[in-house]
Each structure stands twice: as structure tokens, then as C-alpha cells.
Amino acid sequence: MKYKRLSSEELKHLEKEFVNFLASAQITGPDWKKMKTKELQKAEELLDVFSDLVFEKVMSKIKYLEYRDEKTLNIFNCDAEKIFLVGLRVKENSTFSFTAANIFTQWNDSHTSAVNVIKNEKKYSKERGVEVFDLLQTGCFITDEKLFNLLNGML
């Protein structure tokens, strides 16, 4: 399994897609019910395959991720071949926090010296989708290109 098995709740939301998936494997509703009780391992394998298909599709559509804590703001551009990072790190002695409300409306020149700007890029060390999934698992969330472009323009 490449990602993780979808939860029961997630599967409920994807019921139509799962039924179509089973139909493409020529598995009817009664067959599926029977398989869940008499061939549990086979049923679990099908759930794993379906889960990977769903996650693969979702991961392929993600272009930008954001990670933020008090002292760090990272924006990732997940390109086809590389991942680009533009980030800000609060210096050790500063009280500035990226979790404060309306930080960018409060931003002024006095905060510029309290922050290090980081820019980096790397080729994926795993499959693109797996690396994007791993970033999501570590606390990143999906975002758009606006903040990436803003920070990238500062450099």
C-alpha cells in the first residue's frame, strides 16, 4: 500500500466511486458482501487498491502546500519533477510569531530583521505523490500560489 487505507467515513463519501471501482472488477453488490465475510483478505486488498487510486488522484492535483508554526512559515511548490520551498524562519531572539492573527497586516520593516528567508529546491527522493502525502501527514495543508509568489518575489 502506497498511502493509507481510507477510513469508513471517507469511504461513505466515495460510495459511488467505490461501487464503480468494484463494477470495473466485475464485483457485484452481493459478491462484495460475501467477500467481506468469507474472503476478508481479498476485500481488504481491494480497499487498499481503491484507497491508493483515490489518494494518487488527489495528490496529483496538489500544487502548493503550506506549513506554519510559531517560528516557521514554509510554502512548497510541488512541481512535476522538483519541489520548491520558500520559507521564513523567526530568529531565536525575536518574539514575532507566524501563528499570530493577521501577521501580514502587522508586518513592517522592523520584522524584516527578525526573520531569515529560505529558498530551496530539490528533486523528489520518492514518488511525487508519496512525498506530497508525507508533507500532509507532517502538518502541511493545501494552499494556492499567492503566498508562494509573494515570498518568492521578496527574494
Q: How does pLDDT run along the chain (155 residues), one tens digit per residue?
A: 999 999 999 999 999 999 999 999 999 999 999 999 999 999 999 999 999 999 999 999 999 999 999 889 999 999 999 999 999 888 887 777 788 776 666 565 555 667 888 999 999 999 999 999 999 999 999 999 998 998 888 76
Neighbours of 133 (CB within 10 A): 21
Domain layout of the chain by residue ranges: 8-61, 64-154
How far is the C-alpha of 75 from the C-alpha of 151, rounded, in Å?
Answer: 9
Count of H helices and E strands in the chain? Answer: 8, 5
